Amino acid sequence: MTISVASIMTRSDDLLNDIGGIRWPYVERVNWLNDGQREVVMHKPEAGAVNAPVQLAAGTKQTIPATGVRLLDVVRNMGAAGTTPGRSIRIVEREIMDAQLPDWHNATAASTIKHFMFDERNPRNFYVYPPVTGAPYVEMIYSSSPVDCTLGGNISLDDIYGNVLLDYVLYRAYSKDAEYAANAQRAQAYYQLVASALGIKSRTDVAASPNATHMGGS
The three-state secondary structure class of 19 is: coil
Q: Report the b/e string of 32-47 with b at 16+ CB within 10 A.
A: bbbebbebbbbbbbeb
Residue 210 pLDDT = 75
* Residue 138, H or E segment: strand 137-144
Amino acid identity, position 54? V
For the stretch 38-61, pLDDT in tens is 999 999 999 999 999 999 999 999
Residue 201 pLDDT = 47
For the stretch 90-105, pLDDT in tens is 999 999 999 999 999 9
For the stretch 172-206, pLDDT in tens is 999 987 677 788 999 999 999 999 998 854 455 55
* C-alpha span between 67 and 59 (Å, rounded): 22
Q: 49 pairs with which residues across the strands?
A: 143
Residue 203 pLDDT = 52
Residue 217 pLDDT = 44
pLDDT > 70 fraction of the chain, expressed in percent and rounded: 92
Pairing of strands 115-118, 90-91: parallel
For the stretch 126-145, pLDDT in tens is 999 999 999 999 999 999 99
For the stretch 58-90, pLDDT in tens is 999 999 999 999 999 999 999 999 999 999 999
For the stretch 157-179, pLDDT in tens is 999 999 999 999 999 999 987 67
- Helices 162-176 and 181-198 pack at an angle, to 10 degrees, of 150
Residue 134 pLDDT = 94
pTM flag (> 0.75): yes
pLDDT classification of 1: cutoffs 50, 70, 90 = confident
Residue 214 pLDDT = 60
Q: What is the largest CA-CA distance in the chain?
A: 67
